[in-house]
Amino acid sequence: MKKKVFNGVLYDTKMYKNMRELVDDVCIKYADNTAFLYHSGEDVVEVKYKQLGEDIKNFTSYLTSQGLKGEKVVVIGKNSYSWSLTYLTVTSGLGVIVPMDKDLSEEQIDYLLEDSDPKCIVYGREIEGKLPNKKEGIKYICFDEISACLEKGAELRRKGDLAYERYVVDSFSLGILIYTSGTTGIAKGVMLSQYNIMSNVSGAKSVIMIYPEDRCVSVLPLYHTYECMAGFLAFIASGASIAYNESLRELANDLLLFKPTVIVGVPVLFEKLYRIVLKKYASLKGGNVVLSLQGALSSIIGDGKTRRKIFNSVNEAFGGNLNRILCGAASLKPEVFEGYQRFGYGVYQGYGLTETSPVCMVSSDAYTNPNDTGFALPGVELKLDSTNSEGVGELLVKGPNVMLGYYNNPAATASVIDENGWFHTGDLATLTENGTYKIVGRVKSMIVLPNGKKVFPEELELYLQKSKLVSGCFIFGNEENDNVVVTASIYPDKAELKEAVEKMGGRGSFDEKAAQLIHKLVEDVNSKFPAYKNIKRVIIRKTDFEKTTTLKIKRMSEKNREEI
């Protein structure tokens, strides 16, 4: 198949080499624009770009005075102005930022802190109980304390401190260290340069126009590279504003309050909102007939603004100004994609990984399609490796967005980046007639949930196999009623299980007691992980798994997924 190339309009967008160039430019150019909005009790606080610039300089002076110049700084907590301020301060005036997932367990956070060796942790009060005992040589700053830090920094600057002005950013060395779950159960630190991230911001803005008047409601966690690039940095680079949603329970109210023009999210969010709209119509007398008539009228009108007028009640529920939705992490169901288009919203899908900063391909203002994820981002090369007779091959990526490598793990780096600089994604794809790519599966065993979150089976298996009750185990995603259920198939160690059952005493058959022990083990493993990674279904096998000649469980064997 002859590959077509993107032939739509490429917007002229400024390419920043690093975060410092971005901050210095936008805080002057858009000084009077609102950069952030957030809840403070019953009030909403607005932060202008001019204030953002001052806060960054003040925070830089304070952190530098604490001996943190050039060091790694962890930021962990809920989405907030404090989170974003910390990220921008560290990257533009101090050192290396290390975003972490607030939903990790205490054990996992402790491991990542040991591995990354930060000299400062800036955290939200809500995760304080999960931080390990304060360690010597590490500065701890709660989000609640940042205002006091800014005041101290401002005083230093009044006395002539020029820490921010004197700091020089290296655009091409380690600037952002992000941990992504490893398939061996050990998290890997993805090393990104600031140029990696900035090339991605520039590429995205060259195909999707973001205006200074735009506003995004931030819903996804900012530690996630997709939200950080698409829902944070791309908007800052455009002089637009970002409003923070404190919880999904308050999303409907926040849409009415903040009136966003854009929502960045994952399929589970957009599909849930779509179902709510359909249920609302169904609850009204003749509602489904009205929906059908509106849909028919909308389908013959190409103008999004007019379509939104036809579906005025829907538009008002989204705040009245929404015109685009950006979906990542997984693909929207085609019927949901087309449903939002009928409502009058531009729908964009993208594909990427943390290792690629993250976007590799994306829809654009010139091209969207519910059945693919668009063209390669400008400046990014894509190709398929080892394609089969059906045109399916592993997707490879090359470009300025590809990571520097895995932190302290050259062997893992060499396993995914070849000698010619191609990053092997581990995802299977095909090239469509349009010249775009369609992701069709995973080379490895990664489980992708409907909300776009990813579960690595080996990560859970590692903990299950620590128990002497387990002879072998296999984690897989079982598709049930349009859902993916994380399932554990466990072959117990018969001798150890027998001994454990005999110690239990009490009533009940051997099988009942054995099931209690295995399920208790699974509960213990689940407690170590965020809820979305939890094992939801357990199969206790009577026979061993089918294995390779090297005694590895055959993951693709259907028999290994059965209850036998």
pLDDT at 77 over 90: yes
Query: Residue 549's pLDDT is what?
Result: 41
Query: Residue 182's pLDDT is what?
Result: 41
What average pLDDT does this structure show over 298-307?
Answer: 91
Task: Report whether 409 contacts 379 (CB < 8 A).
Answer: no
Task: Report whether 159 contacts 61 (CB < 8 A).
Answer: no
Query: Residue 101's pLDDT is what?
Result: 92
- Angle, nearest 10°, between helix axes 194-207 and 19-29? 50
pLDDT digits over 102-156, tens only? 988 898 899 899 999 999 999 999 998 888 777 788 999 999 999 999 999 999 9
pLDDT at 176 over 90: yes
Please give the mean pLDDT across all residues of the chain.
91
Task: Report whether 489 contacts 561 (CB < 8 A).
Answer: yes
Please choose, from the candidates 425, 415, 428, 277, the residue with its C-alpha nearest in 3D space to the C-alpha of residue 340: 277
Beta strand 188-193 with 447-448 is unpaired
pLDDT at 411 over 80: yes
Domains and CATH numbers, the chain: 1-8+204-396+425-444 (3.40.50.12780), 448-561 (3.30.300.30)
DSSP string spanning 171-220?
Answer: TTSEEEEEEE--TTSS-EEEEEEHHHHHHHHHHHHHHS---TT-EEEE-S
Query: Residue 301's pLDDT is what?
Result: 87
Range scoring the smallest mean pLDDT among 62-76, 136-150, 257-271, 449-463: 449-463
Query: Residue 184's pLDDT is what?
Result: 37
pLDDT at 446 over 80: no
User: Model pTM greater than 0.85?
Assistant: no
- Using only C-alpha atoms, the chain has a radius of gyration, in whole angstroms, of 25
- Angle, nearest 10°, between helix axes 81-93 and 49-65? 60
pLDDT at 358 over 60: yes
